[in-house]
Amino acid sequence: MDFPGGSVPFTPTLTFVGGTFSPRAPLPCYRTIDAAGHAVGEADVPHVLGQDTAVRMYQTMVKLQTVDTIFYEAQRQGRFSFYMTSSGEEATAIGSAAALTNDDVVFSQYREQGVILYRGFSVQDMAHQCFGNMHEQGRGRQMPIHYGSKALNFHTISSTLATQLPHAVGAAYALRLDKKQACSVAYFGEGAASEGDFHAAMNFAATLGAPVVFICRNNGWAISTPATDQYRGDGIAGRGPGYGMAALRVDGGDARAVFNATAEARRIAIEEHVPVLVEAMSYRSGHHSTSDDSSRYRAAEEMRQWRARDPVTRFQRWLIDQGWWDDAQDTAARQEARREVIQALETAQKAPKPPLSAMFSDVYAEMPWHLARQQAEVFAHVTAHPDACPADIPVK
Ligand SMILES: Cc1ncc(C[n+]2csc(CCOP(=O)(O)OP(=O)(O)O)c2C)c(N)n1
């Protein structure tokens, strides 16, 4: 029968589907490399990963791990105010980034620093941003780790969960109207997928035929909320068919599988003018942020088991199996990454801070009256109370 809401067959059977009525097996998780780091023989690999790309991916993963370890420690030493690591999810960020082109537009959450690093943002750029100094484009007006780069087509990160998802749909729709051979890519956590913006973005993307690749990092935790409290049903990928969207679940700890999943999702999105949903299964091996202590809400044994499944080691073993990497190269790459990260922090820490007045600039071509008034109040305040402004921050 052709109802306005859909062409459907009639049935005399009164049967509800879904929920508790017809539980079905969860969507399987696609992988190409097993837990020990060896290739899964029968795996589909429509997008062959060549040596140059694979080695660049691994080198970036090593750099990312080194940045995360040393920046985290730098924050604990009080050198800057906040940090978030991507430990346990390196393969999701780097595997997906390697499958994109720089024409693709990225909208990320806050735990995908590997993506911008792979696209060409330097460790020095990251350090400048975390210190909020004069050399970073945000000029200290963002929290640390809220990276962004116009040149790299990477929209500046917003802390407000899921706001990037409708933006990504709009950008993808614009790419489609402009007939560009590119898509937008939206990253988010399974916690963010409980926001209203997620559902609005999914439905808009499906109905507009916007070429977006949605990549959900399902790392099991949204700060202290476990995934078991976050949703019912089959995770995030299970929602795809409900929106009329192709969906795939992938092992987020397998960089080669994430590369293939993303490359294929990108191909479908661009060729067929549709959104695609990818759910990367992983584990947040670190604390939520430097403001969190996850030992208060999850078992030490769970954390130990997942840390032992380090995705970087897994990919390294696969590279060694291919004959593309060895221990000597590994030691050299780690030493070089360490040197680069330490140097970047020292340089960024010494760089001058933006003036207090930068708080009011760069939004409007001409400063509106209410900002002019607030700026005058700030100047008057620091004139009356010179100690209110740290010594290394000039007023104007
Ligand atoms: C709209 C909004 N609500 C709440 C928060 C506070 N908050 C920050 S991160 C976070 C958890 C998000 O978890 P998830 O999306 O799974 O990402 P993960 O941190 O695990 O990578 C919450 C609730 C926020 N930033 N924005």
- The CATH number linked to 174 is 3.40.50.970
Give the least confident one: 105-114, 218-227, 380-389.
380-389
My answer on whether 383 and 271 are in the same domain is no
Overall average pLDDT of the 318-345 stretch: 98
* Average pLDDT of the chain, as a whole number: 96
When pLDDT is cut at 50, 70 and 90, the band that residue 23 belongs to is low
Q: Is residue 6 part of a domain?
A: no
Range of the domain at 381: 356-388
Q: Is residue 173 part of a domain?
A: yes
Q: Is residue 84 part of a domain?
A: yes
My answer on whether 361 and 345 are in the same domain is no
My answer on whether 219 and 368 are in the same domain is no
Domain total of the chain: 2
My answer on whether 225 and 371 are in the same domain is no
Residue 188 predicted with pLDDT over 80 = yes
Residue 19 predicted with pLDDT over 90 = no
- The answer to whether the CB of 97 falls within 8 A of the CB of 45 is no
Residue 7 predicted with pLDDT over 90 = yes
Overall average pLDDT of the 229-245 stretch: 95
My answer on whether 291 and 202 are in the same domain is yes
Q: Is residue 11 part of a domain?
A: no
**Beta-sheet pairing, 212-218 with 184-189:** parallel
Q: Is residue 9 part of a domain?
A: no
My answer on whether 260 and 365 are in the same domain is no
| Ligand 1 near 284 CB (within 6 A) | yes
| Ligand 1 near 83 CB (within 6 A) | no
What is the Cα 54 distance to its own chain's centre?
Answer: 20
Q: Is residue 18 part of a domain?
A: no
My answer on whether 274 and 371 are in the same domain is no
What sign does the CA torsion over 65, 68, 73, 77 have?
positive
Q: Which two tokens stand for residue 257?
A: 């599988």
Q: Is residue 219 part of a domain?
A: yes
Q: Is residue 377 part of a domain?
A: yes
pLDDT score recorded for residue 287: 97
My answer on whether 206 and 304 are in the same domain is yes
The Cα–Cα gap between 213 and 210 comes to: 9
Residue 295: active-site member: no
* Tokens 């970036």, located at residue: 60
When pLDDT is cut at 50, 70 and 90, the band that residue 336 belongs to is very high
What is the Cα 111 distance to its own chain's centre?
Answer: 5
My answer on whether 279 and 376 are in the same domain is no
Encoded amino acid at 121, one letter? F
State pLDDT tens for residues 240-296: 999 999 999 999 999 999 999 999 999 999 999 999 999 999 999 999 999 999 999
Q: Which atom of ligand 1 is nearest to the CA of 111?
A: 21
My answer on whether 263 and 166 are in the same domain is yes
My answer on whether 49 and 164 are in the same domain is yes
pTM for the predicted model, two decimal places: 0.96
Q: How far is the CA of 303 from the centre of ligand 1 (A)?
A: 20
| Ligand 1 near 223 CB (within 6 A) | yes
My answer on whether 161 and 183 are in the same domain is yes
